């Protein structure tokens, strides 16, 4: 739109910094429809001279980095609306389970709920109603109440005091016997952690663990209701926190505590909380790359250097595995019937090629 109103549109280039611009180590160079390669290269050189990691992006909603980050806040709102977990629990799971510096609601309070909602509306309008980008009515209610975040003294949290401090991790202790299946990198990581902690580990059905005779499915391909059992769990190979759902079985939660892991009890859903957020981060980034908005390397660098994520979506994909990510998304679409969980074609192909 800016380029259309000037005599030499080929000289118009987007140059997008991240707040605070003096500290964030990345900038996006955004090509418009008429931007010349000479103009783009000149701006790239300027960014490099500033000491920035320069990534290339195509003009569109959120450019590359902010577009790829949409699910971090959007999926958290979807989880809250579905009453899978409350605000504090979702944020705590993101911090302790995923290694994010701030939880999604803490981050919304920091930036301003009204600002985030305006961005969400812009995404939705520019995409002509893309389901993945649909704004949340929860945000609209907060704005109507005047609760906009830190700047008004009240948002998802009250200020002061803000969000509660995270508890210390349980003290590891040597245990007895546990059976751990295979099929997912997180189960391999759990087996390694248990063996290092002195547990006797045997094998069991893929996609499950067995603690004291209780079968506990990993909710990576469905909800507990779909997969069956009294209690289910979800975690990522980072193994900072394990989410549990269903009937409280002391032996099961005690096993994870014995490994020094935090736990959180949430409502039933495929992927529970962190699995949904991370899977949608991977999915959105896959759509963006497929559409030529940027490269996987630029997405990952952007999420880490511009937004302080612990790793980028494609690094998450390598760590967690395509079977896990696609399993969560497919199960969500099947169980909820919502188009926003459709899998990006390139992500689906990655799973097929790995088979």
Q: Within 13 Å and on the Cβ side, how many CA atoms surround 14?
A: 22
In terms of Cα–Cα distance, which of 12, 26, 116, 44 is closest to 74? 116
Q: What are the pLDDT digits (tens) for 51-85?
A: 999 999 999 999 999 999 999 999 999 999 999 99
Q: What are the pLDDT digits (tens) for 176-201?
A: 999 999 999 999 999 999 999 999 99
Q: What share of the chain is helix, strand, coil (3-state, %, to 5)?
A: 50, 15, 40
Of the pLDDT bands very low, low, confident and very high (cuts 50, 70, 90), residue 1 is: confident
| Contact assessment for residue 76 and residue 48, using Cβ atoms and an 8 Å cutoff | no
Of the pLDDT bands very low, low, confident and very high (cuts 50, 70, 90), residue 107 is: very high
- Say what the pLDDT of residue 127 is: 96
- What's the whole-number mean pLDDT along residues 285-291? 97
Q: DSSP secondary-structure letter at 138?
A: H
- What's the whole-number mean pLDDT along residues 20-26? 95
| Contact assessment for residue 2 and residue 28, using Cβ atoms and an 8 Å cutoff | no
What percentage of the chain reaches a pLDDT higher than 70? 100
- Say what the pLDDT of residue 175 is: 80
pTM of the full predicted structure? 0.96
- Active-site residue list: 16
Of the pLDDT bands very low, low, confident and very high (cuts 50, 70, 90), residue 354 is: confident
Mean residue pLDDT across the chain: 97
Burial-class residue 336 by CB neighbours within 10 Å (0-12, 13-18, 19+).
middle
What percentage of the chain reaches a pLDDT higher than 90? 97
Of the pLDDT bands very low, low, confident and very high (cuts 50, 70, 90), residue 304 is: very high
Is pLDDT above 80 for 355?
no
Q: What are the pLDDT digits (tens) for 91-105?
A: 999 999 999 999 999
The domain made up of 72-152 is a member of CATH 3.40.50.720: no
The contacts of residue 254 (CB under 8 Å, 6+ apart) are none
Is pLDDT above 80 for 122?
yes
Domain locations along the chain: 3-59, 72-152, 177-265
């Amino acid at each position: 739109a800016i380029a259309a109103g000037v005599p030499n549109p080929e000289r118009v280039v987007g140059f997008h910094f991240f707040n605070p611009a003096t500290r964030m180590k990345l900038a996006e160079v955004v090509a418009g429809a008429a931007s010349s390669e000479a103009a783009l290269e000149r701006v790239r050189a300027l960014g490099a001279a500033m000491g920035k990691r320069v990534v290339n992006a195509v003009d569109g909603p959120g450019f590359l980095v902010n577009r790829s980050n949409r699910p971090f806040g959007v999926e958290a709102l979807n989880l809250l609306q579905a009453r899978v977990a409350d605000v504090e629990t979702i944020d705590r799971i993101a911090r302790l389970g995923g290694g994010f510096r701030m939880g999604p609601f803490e981050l919304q309070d920091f930036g301003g709920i009204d600002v985030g909602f305006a961005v969400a509306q812009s995404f939705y309008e520019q995409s002509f109603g893309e389901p993945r980008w649909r704004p949340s009515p929860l945000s609209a209610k907060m704005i109507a109440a005047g609760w906009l975040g830190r700047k008004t003294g009240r948002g998802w949290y009250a200020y002061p005091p803000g969000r509660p401090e995270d508890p210390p991790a349980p003290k590891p202790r040597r245990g007895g016997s546990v059976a751990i299946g295979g099929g997912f990198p997180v189960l391999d990581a759990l087996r390694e952690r248990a063996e290092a902690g002195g547990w006797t580990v045997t094998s069991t059905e893929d996609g499950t663990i067995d603690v004291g005779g209780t079968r506990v499915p990993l909710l990576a391909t469905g909800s507990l209701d779909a997969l069956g059992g009294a209690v289910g769990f979800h975690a990522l190979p980072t193994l900072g926190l394990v989410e549990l759902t269903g009937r409280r079985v002391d032996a099961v939660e005690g096993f994870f505590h014995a490994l020094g892991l935090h736990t959180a009890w949430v409502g039933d859903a495929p992927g529970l909380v962190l699995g949904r957020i991370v899977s949608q981060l991977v999915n959105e980034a896959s759509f963006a790359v497929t559409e030529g908005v940027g490269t996987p390397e630029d997405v990952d660098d952007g999420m880490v250097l511009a937004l302080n994520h612990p790793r980028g979506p494609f690094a998450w994909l390598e760590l967690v595995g395509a079977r896990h990510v696609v399993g969560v998304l497919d199960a969500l679409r099947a169980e909820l019937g919502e188009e926003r969980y459709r899998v990006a074609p390139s992500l689906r192909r990655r799973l097929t090629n790995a088979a």
